[in-house]
């Protein structure tokens, strides 16, 4: 007999199989997810909205559908949640912002609709940094890291990181503009994939910076990540930036070793990882080598120029979206967000265009790099989740903005649009998760996930659960 | 025996045929072009550089190549010239600017190289407005309209308009960011085609505003325009914006009538054309109707919003390219250009991004329009070439910039990237050329040129030559 915890931590693909085979019902899993979410919410603050009634009705409908026979979509009955910037028809979508506190979209985002079409039961909307722009809004407060409640989850997909790590729901979707999927995935000990720019539709997703925004899955296992991506990827008439390109079989791509795979380990000469992070990264590289890959160490190209370019693009595009509100409702933003948005209003167009030119040059350099290497590997960040500090002061803007540090080793792949996954690589002596980042060629999500699977198997992190109960 | 004038005005396709058939030599035609250019230069000021020695050597090489037999490229031996912003290896390329007075590029632009590969003899570089940005630089002075030397040629492809109209060379290439091919084509009584954005490579062409710049042919006949486009169109690894899309047979596309073609006559309710312009436009529409087309009158969508958006994009992108020089060498620019570039330095990024959003919305509206219509027709401009005024003062910048008037009815198709041709539609009582503009779907240059051929035939303008001799 499975315990409640066993059901809670059931991988998404295993949950889907058990529902299909009648070993568990959607209602059982959805009740576990909701009960757990409510019970842990005082500690985690991981949700902005829990949709008990609608989710249980959807779960019962899924169970009836299964009982009726006929076609069964791949995620039938599986409870998943969403970062609270994916529009959900008739269910409020706040983007972690006071300005959107009462916003109830009329239609589902494309991702929401595709998850529903795949049979998933959407049970909640996760806490996040305000408008995904780096800061907690006091109306919602910070999410807490399940591995140590005094530590940060990272952001901006903060509640998603906390919920998935705490075994609340079988899968989740985050968004990533400078690292907002991969940083919380790394700090919360889960898998987070930023797919290729254009691989997943952004229609109905509250934008931060449209030339940099990516939607992607956050899950407990690499296989779950592949299954979630398969459910949501693909072109979309409602999003002209969504790529009109066939979707690979990401689950099948996980099978096999890494023979012939050429890996570049990217090394940042200006910034070192913590010794524990570096050791875990070396172990991950050793596992990939053992699976047949070759590894070459390489100085990290264009890291600083790329980060500065990303910041200029982010400032301009975010302030463009927020222009009206930042002029009329500045007090409704968290103070650091307000300061950042007002600085963005003043950014000259020539700075934005210079950044786009740098971006094009960086893109050419990485395209050249990917003719010589198949994957790029680094730690996801310099160290594990830090302790949460007191509420932050206004950031110094531009080059002094602390966001520049946060985008660290992740932002470069938002800039180039290449797929990049963060996968757990071990734990610190204090029990905090560590992670590596694996990036690949545009639309080579399968190759990236296969390598992530090798790291996941070698790291032996799958069975470990945060000390919540 | 052909007179010198007959050879001068020989259409490009006819010149190519006669050279191929041995009826005339490349040297003869090239000597006519050069002699004529030198003789008329005091009146027209149409050239910045004439390449006598190199051109005659190329002409002799073409004649030897013909004599030797073997493959004969389509433009073998035909003398053509280029707006002086197409790079020519070893031959200075000034862009009509003091800043580039002594600039000698090491390599040909892609267009230059393709014309050479097609066998053309490049004999000169045409006068133009400084950096194609709307103003005459005093170092080069204005070109004069061959139909009346006291009148403007239009710009920025000013020298190209004058030279082609005056029978100097068999073809030419201009560039168009807000109307810089079509306005001088209209005012000088020649054919000017702005192809689809991405149809012709811009590698090695001095940029004005890279998201708006288009390269295209300026010729005396529609058939010549099709032949020039065929020689230069196509994808180019050196220009990532060049479309990777097969090149149609534009010459073959000229054959046939307009049965089933749905034309929208676009009407600007805020600005009227002169009565003579309107009459000539009605005659052109009647000719197209007689050839089988249907014509519907339609209010012109998004004209004002589109023009303002184009100006913001132009200001930002131009000042981005010129940033270094406008800060260090402001006195080397013509005064109105300097004022415009300095205003562009101050344009906020959010204004640029708002303009790009307007552009996207306008693009969607025109895409929808082109599901109901095949061609859009209007006068190219409100009237014939005006008298040249005294040197201009600094323009009022932004919404008050006189460029906003100049982009009038042409700029909207730079914004949407649709192909648009200006074709002569008649003459005023004072002997100044009139013209209509015909725009079509992206990459439907063939359809646009076919309709232009119908107008050309009906207008009966082909035999008429400017009163120069």
- Substitution target in B346, B349, B367, B398 with the highest count of A β-carbons within 10 Å is B349
CA-based nearest distance A362→chain B, Å: 14
Kind of pairing between the strands at B433-440 and B420-427: antiparallel
Note the CATH number of domain A4-459. Answer: 3.90.1300.10
Question: Which stretches does DSSP call E strand in B139-221?
Answer: 171-176, 191-194, 214-219
Separation CA B13–CA B17 (nearest Å): 6
Answer yes or no: do B353 and A320 touch at CB < 8 A.
Answer: yes
Nearest to A203, CA basis, from A105, A310, A306: A105
Asked if residue B392 has pLDDT above 70, the reply is no
**Counts for chain A of helices (H) and strands (E), in that order:** 15, 11
A436: its two tokens: 């590596």
Q: Which helix (H) or strand (E) segment is B66 a member of?
A: helix B52-68
A364: its two tokens: 């050419």
The average pLDDT across B182-206 equals 98
Least CB-CB distance to B319: which of A319, A320, A350?
Answer: A350
Nearest to B83, CA basis, from B135, B37, B47: B47
B324 burial level (CB within 10 Å; 0-12, 13-18, 19+): exposed
At A268-301, the pLDDT tens digits run 999 999 999 999 999 999 999 999 999 999 999 9
Answer yes or no: do B320 and A346 touch at CB < 8 A.
Answer: no
pLDDT at B11: 98
Least CB-CB distance to B350: which of A323, A357, A360?
Answer: A323
Catalytic residue ranges of B? 83, 156, 180
Asked if residue B398 has pLDDT above 80, the reply is no
The average pLDDT across B365-379 equals 98
At A103-153, the pLDDT tens digits run 999 999 999 999 999 999 999 999 999 999 999 999 999 999 999 999 999
pLDDT at A404: 87
| Partners of A216 in beta bridges | A174
Separation CA A206–CA A84 (nearest Å): 9
pLDDT at B1: 55
Answer yes or no: do A315 and B350 touch at CB < 8 A.
Answer: no
Separation CA A326–CA A333 (nearest Å): 8
Number of C-beta neighbours around residue B431 at 10 A: 13
Whole-number percent of chain B with pLDDT over 70 = 97
pLDDT at B405: 85
At A204-242, the pLDDT tens digits run 999 999 999 999 999 999 999 999 999 999 999 999 999
Question: Which stretches does DSSP call E strand in A195-272?
Answer: 214-219, 262-267
The average pLDDT across B298-303 equals 97
At A164-186, the pLDDT tens digits run 999 999 999 999 999 999 999 99
Q: Verify whether residue A180 is a known catalytic residue.
A: yes
Q: Which helix (H) or strand (E) segment is A47 a member of?
A: strand A47-50
At A17-41, the pLDDT tens digits run 999 999 999 999 999 999 999 999 9
Answer yes or no: do A319 and B345 touch at CB < 8 A.
Answer: no
pLDDT band at B3 (very low <50, low <70, confident <90, very high): confident
Asked if residue B216 has pLDDT above 70, the reply is yes
Kind of pairing between the strands at B121-126 and B47-50: antiparallel
Number of C-beta neighbours around residue B304 at 10 A: 13
Residue A255 CB contacts under 8 Å (≥ 6 apart), including other chains: A450
pTM of the model: 0.89
Kind of pairing between the strands at A171-176 and A214-219: antiparallel
DSSP B3: -
Separation CA B318–CA B312 (nearest Å): 10
Number of C-beta neighbours around residue A256 at 10 A: 12
Asked if residue B394 has pLDDT above 50, the reply is no
Give me the helices (H) in A292-385, please: 303-328, 335-345, 349-372
At A362-412, the pLDDT tens digits run 999 999 999 999 999 999 999 999 999 765 544 555 557 888 888 899 999
Asked if residue B438 has pLDDT above 80, the reply is yes
Question: Does ipTM surpass 0.90 in this model?
Answer: no
The average pLDDT across B67-76 equals 93
Residues in A lying within 8 Å of B, measured between beta carbons: 240, 315-317, 319-320, 323, 344-354, 357, 360
Q: Which CATH number fits domain B4-236+243-459: 3.90.1300.10, 3.40.50.1820, 3.40.50.410, 3.40.50.720?
A: 3.90.1300.10
Separation CA A302–CA A304 (nearest Å): 6
Instruction: Out of A180, A201, A209, A319, pick the active-site residue.
Output: A180
Separation CA A247–CA B241 (nearest Å): 25
Where are the domains positioned within chain A? 4-459
Q: What is the largest CA-CA distance in chain A?
A: 64
Asked if residue B243 has pLDDT above 50, the reply is yes
- Cβ-contact B438, B451 below 8 angstroms: yes
pLDDT at A4: 87
Instruction: Out of A83, A152, A158, A209, pick the active-site residue.
Output: A83
At A316-358, the pLDDT tens digits run 999 999 999 999 999 999 999 999 999 999 999 999 999 999 9
Separation CA A223–CA A219 (nearest Å): 9
Whole-number percent of chain A with pLDDT over 70 = 97
Asked if residue B397 has pLDDT above 70, the reply is no
CA contacts within 13 A on the Cβ side of B34: 22
Separation CA A139–CA A157 (nearest Å): 16
Asked if residue A71 has pLDDT above 70, the reply is yes
Chain B residue nearest residue A353, CA to CA: B320
Separation CA A349–CA B347 (nearest Å): 6
């Amino acid at each position: 007999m499975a315990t409640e915890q066993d059901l809670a931590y059931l991988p998404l693909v295993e949950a889907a199989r058990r529902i299909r085979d009648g070993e568990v019902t959607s209602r059982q899993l959805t009740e576990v997810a909701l009960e757990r979410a409510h019970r842990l919410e005082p500690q985690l603050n991981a949700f902005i909205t829990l949709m008990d009634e609608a989710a249980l009705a959807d779960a019962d409908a899924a169970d009836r559908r299964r009982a009726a026979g006929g076609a069964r979509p791949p995620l039938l009955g599986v409870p998943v949640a969403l970062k609270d910037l994916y529009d959900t028809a008739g269910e409020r979508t706040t983007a972690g912002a006071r300005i959107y506190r009462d916003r109830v979209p009329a239609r589902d985002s494309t991702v929401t609709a595709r998850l529903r079409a795949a049979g998933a039961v959407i049970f909640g909307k996760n806490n996040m940094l305000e408008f995904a722009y780096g800061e907690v809004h006091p109306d919602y407060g910070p999410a807490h890291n399940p591995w140590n409640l005094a530590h940060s989850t990272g952001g901006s997909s903060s509640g998603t990181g906390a919920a998935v790590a705490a075994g609340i729901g079988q899968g989740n979707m985050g968004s990533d503009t400078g690292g907002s999927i991969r940083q919380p995935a790394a700090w919360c000990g889960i898998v987070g994939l930023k797919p290729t720019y254009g691989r997943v539709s952004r229609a109905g997703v509250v934008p931060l910076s449209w030339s940099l925004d990516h939607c992607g899955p956050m899950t407990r296992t690499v296989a779950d990540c592949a299954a979630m991506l398969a459910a949501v990827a693909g072109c979309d008439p409602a999003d002209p930036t969504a790529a009109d390109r066939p979707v690979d079989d990401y689950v099948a791509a996980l099978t096999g070793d890494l023979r012939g795979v050429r890996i570049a380990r990217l090394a940042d000469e200006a910034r070192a990882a913590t010794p524990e992070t570096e050791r875990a990264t070396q172990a991950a590289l050793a596992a990939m080598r053992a699976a047949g890959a070759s590894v070459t160490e390489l100085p990290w190209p264009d890291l600083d120029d790329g980060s500065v370019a990303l910041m200029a693009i982010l400032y301009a595009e975010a302030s463009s979206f927020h222009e009206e509100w930042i002029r009329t409702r500045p007090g409704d933003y968290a103070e650091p967000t307000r300061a950042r948005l007002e600085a963005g209003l003043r950014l000259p167009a020539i700075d934005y265009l210079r950044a786009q030119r740098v971006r094009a040059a960086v893109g050419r350099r990485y395209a050249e790099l990917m003719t010589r290497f198949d994957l790029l590997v680094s730690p996801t960040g310099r160290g594990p989740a830090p302790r949460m500090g007191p509420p932050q002061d206004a950031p110094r803007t531009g080059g002094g903005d602390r966001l520049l540090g946060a985008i660290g080793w992740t932002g470069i792949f938002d800039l180039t649009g290449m797929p990049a996954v963060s996968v757990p690589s071990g734990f610190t002596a204090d029990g905090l998760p560590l992670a590596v980042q694996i990036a690949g060629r545009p639309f080579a999500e399968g190759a990236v996930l296969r390598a992530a699977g090798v790291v996941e198997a070698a790291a032996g992190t799958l069975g470990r659960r945060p000390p919540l109960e």
